[in-house]
Amino acid sequence: MRDFGRVITAMITPFREDGSLDLDGAKALAGWLVENGSDGVVVAGTTGESPTLSHDEKLALFRGVKEAVGDRAAVIAGTGSNNTEASVGLTREAEACGVDGIMLVAPYYNKPSQEGLYQHFAACAKATRLPVMLYNIPGRTGVNLLPETVLRLAQLENVVALKEASGNLDQVSELLRQLPPHFRVYSGDDSMTLPIVALGGYGVVSVASHLVGLEIQAMIRALVQGRLAEAQRVHLKLFPLFKALFLAPNPVPVKAALTLLGQPAGKPRLPLVGLSEKEEEQLKRVMEEMDLLPHQPS
C-alpha cells in the first residue's frame, strides 16, 4: 500500500466566477501543492466543500487531480458521507478513477452509535482494496470516534490511518498507546501538529500547507529527528497563520489567501460566503507579517 507521506494537504476545490467547477484550476493547484511541500492531497474532502459537490464533480476531481500529479504524490479521495450505501458506491468508483487512497469522515448529523460508526467504516473499507484513512472531527460531525472503535477498525487490513481532529490530546495518547505500529495517526488541526507528532503521531492533514507546506515539512522533520527547539520555533512562527485560516468557517479563509497569491480558488459555494472586509484585512495582515504576499513593484 502506498505511503501517504507526512504532510497531506486537504485541498480546496477551485470554482469559476459563475460557481462552476474549475477542473483545470484544481489540476494546476494540485501540481503547485506537490511542488511546495505536499506529499499527498485529499480531494473532495470537507475542505474541498464536498457537501456542495455533485457526484460527477467528485469523480472528475478524482480523475483530474490524479492525472495532474501522477506518481509524485498520493491522491486521497474523500468519499465519506452520512449515507453508508452512497459512501460505499463512491468509494468503489473512486478506486476505479485510479486514486491512491480513501478518506472517510465520520457520518455527520445522524449521530450514529460507536457500533454504527464501526459498521459504517467497515462497510466502506471492505468495498475497496485501497488504503483507508478515517477522519474524526466531532466539532463538525456531532459524534466522536472513540479509541476503542478505532482499535477495532485498525484490525481491518486496509484501514491504516486516522485524521484526528477531536482536539483531545488524552484521546490521542490513548490511541497511540494501543494502536499497532503500522497504523498512522495524523493531526487534523494545524495548531495540534507539533504535540501530536511529539506524542508519536505521523504527520498532518493540513489546511495551512496550501501556503506553507515546506515549512510544515521542516517542522515535522526537525521534530522526528529530535530537534525540538527548532520545531518549536517553526510552530510558533506559523501559529498566527494557523489561527487566521479559521477566522471564518473553513475553507473560506484559505480560499481568500490563495486568491491573494494568484492561485486558483474562487469563492465558496453557498451556504458558505466570502470573508467580511474586516476578516480579509486580518488575514492580509498576518500574511504580510509572514512575508507570504507577493511583493508589489515600487
| Average pLDDT, consecutive stretches of 10 residues, N- to C-terminus, the chain (298 residues) | 91 98 98 98 97 98 98 98 98 98 97 98 98 97 98 98 98 97 97 98 98 98 97 98 98 98 97 98 97 76
135 is catalytic: yes
Q: Does 275 fall in a domain?
A: no
In a domain, 2, yes or no: no
- Considering its fold, how many domains does the chain have in total? 1
Which stretches does DSSP call E strand in the chain?
7-10, 40-43, 74-78, 101-105, 132-136, 159-164, 184-187, 203-206
The verdict on residue 131 lying in a domain is yes
| pLDDT tens track for 264-298 | 999 999 999 999 999 999 999 999 999 999 876 55
* 211: in domain: yes
| 97: CB partners within 8 A, 6+ apart | 59, 62, 63, 66, 77
Cβ burial, residue 46 (10 Å; 0-12/13-18/19+) = buried
> Does the active-site annotation cover 278?
no
Domain with residue 75: its CATH number is 3.20.20.70
C-alpha closest to that of 22 among 47, 53, 66, 67? 53
Which residue among 58, 66, 163, 255 is the active-site one?
A: 163
Q: 28: domain range?
A: 7-227
CA distance 34 to 241: 20
Q: Which of 118, 135, 186, 202 is catalytic?
A: 135
Evaluate whether residue 121 is within a structural domain.
yes
The answer to whether position 105 is within a domain reads yes
Report yes or no on whether pTM surpasses 0.95.
yes
Write down the pLDDT at residue 43.
Answer: 98
Residue 205 lies in a domain: yes
Q: Is residue 28 part of a domain?
A: yes
Opening angle at CA 294, ends 293 and 298, nearest 5: 120
